[in-house]
Structure 1
Amino acid sequence: MARLQLKNVNKRWGSFVGVDNFDLDIADQEFLVLLGPSGCGKSTTMRMIAGLEDVTEGEIWLGDRMVNNLEPKDRDISMVFQSYGLYPNLSVYENIRFPLRVRKVPKEKHRDMVMKAIEMVELQDFMDRRPAELSGGQRQRVALGRAIVRKPTVFLMDEPLSNLDAKLRVSTRAQIKNLQSKLKTTTVYVTHDQIEAMTLADRVVVMNAGKIQQVGTPTEIYDTPANTFVASFIGSPAMNLVEGKLEKGVFQGDGIHVEGLPAGPSGNVTLGFRAEDAEIVEDQGQIAAPMYSIELLGEASMITWRLGGALVSIKTNKEYRAEIGDIVHARIPASICHLFDTASGERIDDR
């Protein structure tokens, strides 16, 4: 069983807090993604799981063992790095075989184990090549093969796609998802790319400034963000956020007026809504303001206004035409809106 538990884990360097009270239970065979901006503590959390960083406070459990004081080699964890970490003088076959040699797996088992890993990452035609003769995507697949060859209890993946171009990221992402489904191995994956998180994860942990902001399925994170940080970090484009005042269910901000919201809260709030949930209309909308920009995205057009200090965008059909500066109307139903406390950023649930 590869249940992984982090119990109130902290990491400090002097007065600087890198990870603050990280508490999480990761289920056996779960694909968990740590998501957040650079410096948020996600890679530090992964390195503590791997044993590459010491835990300042708290406990890390793998199955029924607390592993805080175990050396990395004794934790039965495989890690895939952003930089591939391949041996340039070894072939693909020997790079993938290397973990078996280090762990003194009987030699008679090597070929069968290595060939199974090579087949899983689809490198049969490249097994005699060296890393310099491979593309970036192929090198990353060698790194994946090396991680899976010895069937570890847990996979750790630290931004493994960040060195690949956009097309390779898409295909390698699909391969990672397929591999994890076949291997059924508990996986912790670190990224700053919210598209990777949303497409790969069973659950996403959104982090900022060393703290967990929200834990949930991709759908939960997207549909009900816990605060304005999560709302602004998840989605492409991010959720529109407009500050204003709410009184008796009526929100009023610069250039935007929405009625029919929950009557309970009042005062300064931040209104949020997704670009795809609102729509452009001919007149009588909740927004009526000069268009700031129009962008053709291929399958749709993106209309943007500047409302006070905020840029607000809505997707519409790709045939829509207007000129910058034209007054454009948008309908924003109260049912699609999210409310956040402006001071704290926390979600207001009153419906």
Structure 2
Amino acid sequence: MAEIQLRNVNKRWGSFIGVDNFNLTIADKEFLVLLGPSGCGKTTTMRMIAGLEDVTDGEIVIDGKVVNNLDPKDRDVAMVFQSYALYPNMNVYENIRFPLKVRGVDPATHDERVRRASAMVELDDFLHRKPAELSGGQRQRVALARAIVREPNVFLMDEPLSNLDAKLRVSTRAQIKNLSHELAVTTIYVTHDQIEAMTLADRVVVMEKGVVQQVGSPTEIYDRPANLFVASFIGNPAMNLIDGDLCDGVFETRNTRITGLNTGHGKTTLGFRAEDASLARDGEGQISAPIYTLELLGDATMISVRIGTSLVAVKADKSFRAEIGDLVSIHVTPEICHLFSTETGQRIDD
């Protein structure tokens, strides 16, 4: 069992707050993703769990034991970095084997464990090669195998796909997803890529400026963002957000009038996702504006209009044809709308 608890964890450097009062219990065998932009505190949080950064305040508990004062080597965690960190003078076999040697594991078991780990990441044909002879994706798989061979209680992965091209990211992401299912080990994964978070995680922790913004399953985070930051960060494209006034169930701003909303009043930010809206016949939609841009996506056409300072996107059929400047009408039903306080940024619950 490797349940991890972070209890009121803080990290400060002088007056700068890197992580602010982080509280979370990570269940045994859970795949948790720390998600947020650069500088939000996600990597610092992982490094504190690993023991590579000291905790300023609070406690980190692994498997029922407070580990604040334990060295990294004594925490039974294995870390995979974005930089691979392979030994260039060793071949793949020896790179994978290295953790077993330094930890004094019985040499009689090394070959079986190395080959089992290499098979999991499909490296059997490359064990004799040096890192310089491998592609980026193959080097990242060596780093994964080197973590697997240790059979740790916890995997920590710090943006392991960030150095790979788009095609390799997809295939390696699938491999990590399959490995997490096969190994059933508690995993904490750091990324700024919300697609990685949505596809890999059991739960996602969204962070900004050292503060946890929302914790939930990918579906919960996507369907009910807790605030404007989460709404704007999750989704491709991000949620459409329009500032306006809400009174007696009617939201109004330039080119926009949506009725039938059940809650809230005053200055309100209304959100909806591009795939939930649709094009309407002229004059029958809740938003009417000239086309700002069109993007052909293959399976759909993304249309954007400008409402005040906001770009608002809607997905149309791939066969849709129009020109920039043409007037379009967008159908936005109350059921697809999310409401946020413009002042506080917090979600206004239905």
The answer for the alignment partner of 1:45 in structure 2 is 45
**Partner residue, 1:249:** 249
Q: Does 1:349 align with 2:345?
A: no
Secondary structure of 2:169's aligned partner = helix
- CA offset at residue 270 of structure 1? 0.2
Q: Once the 2 structures are TM-superposed, how far is the Cα of residue 281 of structure 1 from its aligned partner?
A: 1.3
Shift in Å, 1:282? 1.5
Q: In 2, Cα distance between the equivalents of 1:326 and 1:128? A: 61
Where does residue 113 of structure 2 map in the other structure? 113
Aligned counterpart, 2:281: 282
Structure-2 residue corresponding to 1:318? 318
2:104 matched residue in structure 1: 104
Alpha-carbon offset, residue 261 of structure 1: 0.3
* Deviation at residue 256 of structure 1 after TM alignment: 1.0
Q: What is the TM-score with the length of structure 1 in the denominator?
A: 0.99
Which whole-Å CA distance do the structure 2 matches of 1:201 and 1:95 have between them? Answer: 28
Query: Secondary structure of 2:195's partner?
Result: helix
Tell me how far 1:42 sits from its aligned partner. Answer: 0.1
| 2:332 corresponding residue in structure 1 | 332
1:102 to partner: Cα distance: 0.5
Structure 1 runs of 4+ with >2 Å offset: none
SS at match of 1:207: strand
2:30 corresponds in structure 1 to 30
CA-to-aligned-CA distance 1:8-32 (integer Å, 9 cap, x gap): 1000000000000000000000000
The AA in structure 2 aligned to 1:33 is V
1:261 aligns with 2:261: yes
How far apart are residue 150 of structure 1 and its match?
1.4
1-structure distance, mates of 2:128, 2:266: 68
Shift of residue 255, structure 1, vs aligned partner: 1.3
Q: What is the alpha-carbon distance in structure 2 between the residues aligned to residue 110 and residue 293 of structure 1?
A: 58
CA deviation map 1:39-69 (0-9, x unaligned): 0000000000000000000000001110000
Give the structure 2 partner of residue 123 of structure 1.
123
Question: What is the one-letter code of the residue matched to 1:122?
Answer: E
Amino acid at match of 2:257: H
Which one is further off, 280-289 or 144-153? 280-289
Cα distance in 1 for partners of 2:257, 2:325 equals 20
Which residue identity does 2:16 align to in structure 1?
Answer: F
Secondary structure of the corresponding residue to residue 177 of structure 1 = helix
Deviation at 1:254? 1.7
Gaps of 5+ in 2: none
Of 247-256 and 31-40, the range deviating more from structure 2: 247-256
Residue correspondence of structure 1 range 1-351 to structure 2 within 5 A:
1-262=1-262, 264-283=263-282, 284-350=284-350
Residues 277-331 of structure 1: CA distance to partner in whole angstroms, max 9, x if unpaired? 0001122100111110111011000010011010000001011011111110010
Query: Aligned equivalents of 1:60 and 1:111: distance in 2?
Result: 35
1:87 CA drift (Å):
0.1
Distance in 2 between the 1:7 and 1:256 partners? Answer: 45
Q: Distance in 1 between matches of 2:175 and 2:39?
A: 28
Match of 2:97, as an amino acid?
A: R
Q: Give secondary structure in 1 for the equivalent of 2:226.
A: coil
Provide Cα deviations, 1:145-195, integer angstroms capped at 9, x if missing partner: 000101000000000000000000000000001001000000000000000
Matched pairs, number: 349
Q: What is the alpha-carbon distance in structure 2 between the residues aligned to residue 277 and residue 111 of structure 1?
A: 53
Secondary structure of 1:335's partner?
helix
> Aligned partners of 2:310 and 2:253: how far apart in 1?
10
State the SS of the aligned residue for 1:197. Answer: helix
Q: Could you say what secondary structure the match of 1:290 adopts?
A: strand
In 2: Cα distance, 1:124 partner to 1:46 partner: 31
Identity of aligned residues (%): 69
Q: What is the DSSP-based 3-state SS (H/G/I as helix, E as strand, rest coil) of the residue aligned with 1:145?
A: helix
List alignment gaps of at least 5 residues for structure 1. none
Task: Please report the RMSD computed on the Cα atoms of aligned residues, expressed in angstroms.
Answer: 0.5
In the alignment, the residues of structure 2 paired with residue 13 and residue 19 of structure 1 have an alpha-carbon distance, to the nearest angstrom, of 10
Query: In structure 2, what residue type is equivalent to 1:163?
Result: N
Q: Residue by residue, what CA displacement relative to the aligned partner does 1:117-150 show, whole Å, maximum 9, x if unpaired?
A: 0111110000000000000000000000000101
- Three-state SS of the structure 2 residue aligned to 1:142 is helix
Q: Distance in 1 between matches of 2:90 and 2:255?
A: 63
